Amino acid sequence: MSLKGKIYGLVGVIGSGKSYQAEALMVDAACMERPLIMGDFSEGIRQTLMNIFTGESKKIDCTGTAYAKWKQLSSDILLPFFSQGDSPNILDSVRVEGRELLQRTGEYLKPLAGEDVWARWTANAVTNSWAKMSEEDAEICDIVFGSLRFDCEAEAIFKVAEATGKEVKIYFCDYHSDSYELNDHVSEKFAQYFLSLGCKDGDDITELVKQKING
């Protein structure tokens, strides 16, 4: 077993196999009895939503089918607003997908807390988890970031690398699953940039990411 673990980052559009590759890294670590920390830049957004909807933090299995379904399914939310011509004394409903809730929450809070708010949240959570490990486990553990969507998230990974002394490896995912999707949301622009460069599924794009964030 290698004495020092690595930091892995995965980049790709919706449905490109990022979750599959993250799970494969988890299985590899388990087989080698290597500790692993999962870093998820959406976790802060999920926990914000959970606290708004339930009043407490609730653990979500992001690799499970329930979460995948929730992101695609629409839910009705009753709100006290009205459209032009409607009575102001009735409740109206809004239909929204889980993915849209995540995206809107993530983007709305950035002007209030900083463009890198979720990157900072995740980097702090990961670094704190690493710091609580025994010296041996901290040395050999792998850290996996299952999805990079913004420059500031890539920058956060390299900051975690500085704090932990680990090498960074970032891979591009472009498997065309049934849910593969190209859309114009701001959170998809980072992956589409590397797609436009001709990057293929499984490519090591670590140096390309460095070039992008360093301008």
Position 176 pLDDT exceeds 70: yes
Give percent of the chain above pLDDT 90: 78
Global confidence as pTM: 0.81
Neighbours of 176 (CB within 10 A): 11
Instruction: Return d(Cα 170, Cα 84) in angstroms, integer.
Output: 49
Instruction: Return d(Cα 87, Cα 81) in angstroms, integer.
Output: 9
Pairing mode, strands 74-79 and 167-172:
unpaired
Q: Exposed e or buried b for every residue in 55-83, given b needs 16+ CB within 10 A?
A: eeeeebebeeeeeeebbeeeeeeeeeeee
The per-residue pLDDT for range 151-172, each reduced to its tens digit, is 999 999 999 999 999 999 999 9
> Dihedral (C-alpha) 49, 123, 173, 98: value to the nearest 10 degrees?
0
- For residue 42, give both structure tokens: 């959406």
